[in-house]
Homo-oligomer: A and B are copies of this chain.
């Protein structure tokens, strides 16, 4: 995609909403992720999950975050002049994400400001929320993302 067609810092408006998902979470995916990164019993085995306070075979919280990242990429991030993120303000894993759940939600633009240290960059705060097929919020998070600034790029040409 030509750089001009990407969404830049100036193109994002507070209140703007991008949809996330839907994404069906399979037992196979839960177990594959947990086997590599988070081999706790409730993420590997349905029986162990039932006997835990999570109530079933449950995705690692980091797997839920990674699945949300994929939804973000598919929805908007790959159409943005994004330069990564300095971190995450918070993540709330509000309900277990269980095998068979269907997740969807949205990212909302909160606000933006030019970077003090990088003249070509603006920092935009996003708020993300995912809900399951019963409408229960399973994940909430906010994080800042670095985007290239359109005006500065044009001025430099």
The residue of chain B having its C-beta at the shortest distance from the C-beta of A67 within the complex is: B37
Q: Among the listed B37, B86, B90, which residue makes an inter-chain contact with A88, where contact means beta carbons less than 8 Å apart?
A: B90
Q: Is A107 an interface residue, CB under 8 A from the partner?
A: no
Bound together, the chains give a CA A63 to CA B96 distance in angstroms of: 21
Expressed in whole angstroms, the Cα–Cα distance for A62 and B36 within the complex equals: 14
A64-100 CB contact bits vs B (8 Å, 1 = yes)?
A: 0111011001000110001111111111111010000
A103 at the interface (CB under 8 A from B): no
A53 within 8 A of B: yes
Query: Which residues of the other chain, B, contact A65 by a CB distance below 8 angstroms?
Result: 62, 65
Would A62 and B53 count as touching, CB distance under 8 A?
no
Q: How far is the CB of A90 from chain B (nearest CB, A)?
A: 6
Categorize the interface residue count of chain A: 35 or more
Residue among B37, B53, B87 making CB contact with A121, cutoff 8 Å: B53
Digitize A22-65: 1 where CB-to-B-CB distance is under 8 Å, 0 elsewhere.
00000000000100111110100000000011100010111101
Given contacts A53-B118, A66-B66, A84-B93, 14 further A-B pairs with CB under 8 A are A37-B66, A37-B67, A38-B69, A39-B78, A40-B84, A53-B146, A58-B84, A60-B69, A61-B84, A61-B88, A62-B65, A62-B69, A86-B93, A90-B90
16 A-B pairs whose Cβ atoms sit less than 8 Å apart in the complex: A36-B70, A38-B69, A39-B78, A40-B73, A40-B78, A53-B146, A58-B84, A60-B69, A61-B87, A62-B62, A62-B65, A62-B66, A85-B93, A86-B94, A89-B90, A91-B91
